[in-house]
Amino acid sequence: MDSGSWIRKLREERFLKPTGLERLSRAIAEATGNPEFYLAHGSLHDIEAGGVPSIHKLFSLSCFLRIPYDDLLRVFGVNLGDATQFAPPTDPNETSLVPTGPWENRPFPFRLKFSPQFAHDETTLLGPNPKEWPGFPNAAFNLDAQRFRYALIGLKDDTMGELLPPGSLVEVDTEQNVPQMFGWTALRSRPVYLSWHGNGHTCSWCQQERGELMLVPHPTSKQRIRVYKAPRDATVIGRIVAAWVSFVETEPNATAGTPLLT
């Protein structure tokens, strides 16, 4: 069945009259300030005779027929899911900008700015429900709260030096909670872990042997190596697998002028 016959059949099955489409499309055009959304009776006749509408008129038609815009595109032989199949391949060896639409009035989702509610001197393990984090843009992230936990490096915690500076947000894989002490050849490839101990939480390199957990700081840190009895006095929560790092230094306890999460 061709596109025009399919649309007419659906319209008649739903007892929708052309005058209803005119009224609805006029309302959409007035609301958006764009007359291209208006679909007159003659335009509908052309579409049902096999014509191809513009993207704006197709939108009004999808609203009128109460079917998703994507599904209506398929009637005309366009499948948005095929876009990635035909897109030119990207070169992973080249740095490229992440595309953003002109309709987006917000910063790129991974540009995080922390509110005073998050500004702690010590490293803080965030709650398991991201929706309860004050000011956090949940819609911008696909967070797996079942396997992963998230923590903020304290503003006075320089344990990992420039590798994970104070104010960083880290993602912790709770399934990787046994320290890997071999197999890495450089400091940047050495696994970093989030640990709990009697004084709070710490992100650091870890060594565990003979019932003791050793928290090893970055060479540039002012922190000392700490040793705890494990698991009585300390335990590894998981491995740091991702981090969002600010390149602007945040002063501890500075609430005035502290930007909110966006």
**CATH number, domain at 176?**
2.10.109.10
Residue 101 lies in a domain: no
| Mean pLDDT (whole number) for 39-63 | 92
Instruction: Quote the pLDDT of residue 261.
Output: 40
**pLDDT surpassing 80 at residue 187:** yes
The residue ranking higher by pLDDT, 162 or 143, is: 162
Query: Are residues 75 and 149 both part of a single domain?
Result: no
Q: How far apart are CA 100 and CA 241, in angstroms?
A: 26
Mean pLDDT of the chain: 83
Residue 180 lies in a domain: yes
Comparing 3-17, 95-109, 187-201, 218-232, which segment has the lowest mean pLDDT? 95-109
Query: Are residues 239 and 163 both part of a single domain?
Result: yes
Query: Are residues 131 and 75 both part of a single domain?
Result: no
| Contact criterion met (CB below 8 Å) for 166 and 203 | no
Query: Are residues 76 and 151 both part of a single domain?
Result: no
Q: How far apart are CA 133 and CA 137, in angstroms?
A: 9
- pTM greater than 0.85: no
Instruction: Quote the pLDDT of residue 5.
Output: 92
SS (H, E, C) 8-41: HHHHHHCCCCHHHHHHHHHHHHHHHCCHHHCCCH
| Mean pLDDT (whole number) for 223-233 | 94
Q: How far apart are CA 242 and CA 171, in angstroms?
A: 5
Residue 250 lies in a domain: no
| Mean pLDDT (whole number) for 239-243 | 93
Instruction: Quote the pLDDT of residue 178.
Output: 93
| Mean pLDDT (whole number) for 52-81 | 92
Query: Are residues 237 and 141 both part of a single domain?
Result: yes
**pLDDT surpassing 80 at residue 1:** no
Residue 195 lies in a domain: yes
| Mean pLDDT (whole number) for 3-25 | 91
Range of the domain at 54: 3-83
Query: Are residues 130 and 65 both part of a single domain?
Result: no
Comparing 84-93, 109-118, 149-158, 194-203, which segment has the lowest mean pLDDT? 109-118
Number of folded domains that form the chain: 2
| Mean pLDDT (whole number) for 169-187 | 89
**pLDDT surpassing 50 at residue 145:** yes
Return the biggest CA–CA distance within the chain. 84
Query: Are residues 125 and 69 both part of a single domain?
Result: no
| Mean pLDDT (whole number) for 225-236 | 95
| Contact criterion met (CB below 8 Å) for 55 and 4 | no
Residue 93 lies in a domain: no
